[in-house]
Amino acid sequence: MIAETVCSAVAAAGLGIAAVTAFRKRFLTAARIAAYALVPLGLVMTGVVQWAADTAFSPVAWAGFGVLGGAWLLFTGTRAVERRRGRKGRAVSAAAQHDPVAPQASAPSLGPASRTTAKPRTKPQATSRTDAADDFSDIEAILKKHGI
């Protein structure tokens, strides 16, 4: 009963503040304040406040939350054990299992026969002295720009 009265008073006060804000020509802010003010009133009208009050003061409800917490602990605990066993179990089963194909048969050969592919052509290097000087002049300009 008290919770409903408090929520209604908060809603009325919020709507009053929204009206004053709208009077000051701040309509967007007034609409936002009115929306926040109507939330407690809506919770009272739907019965959520009464349900929350009944739940908060009910020992059966708190026992139910305890049971739900215990169930959650069981689920997470069994999941953690399953993951640990899964890792160890997979390693043991992989070692015990024999492959029908030898591991070396699937590895690529690195002998001289595998290097028969043509090498990509590279750009011919500058042989003249001026090309090399141009390259260094660009580098010098960058270094001077940065104060080095």
Q: Roughly how many angstroms between the first and final C-alpha of the chain, as a whole number? A: 78
Are the CB atoms for 72 and 50 separated by under 8 Å? no
Mutual orientation of helices 48-56 and 59-96 as an angle, nearest 10°?
Answer: 80
Per-residue pLDDT tens for 88-138? 666 656 666 655 555 555 656 566 555 555 566 665 555 555 666 667 888
| pTM greater than the 0.75 cutoff | no
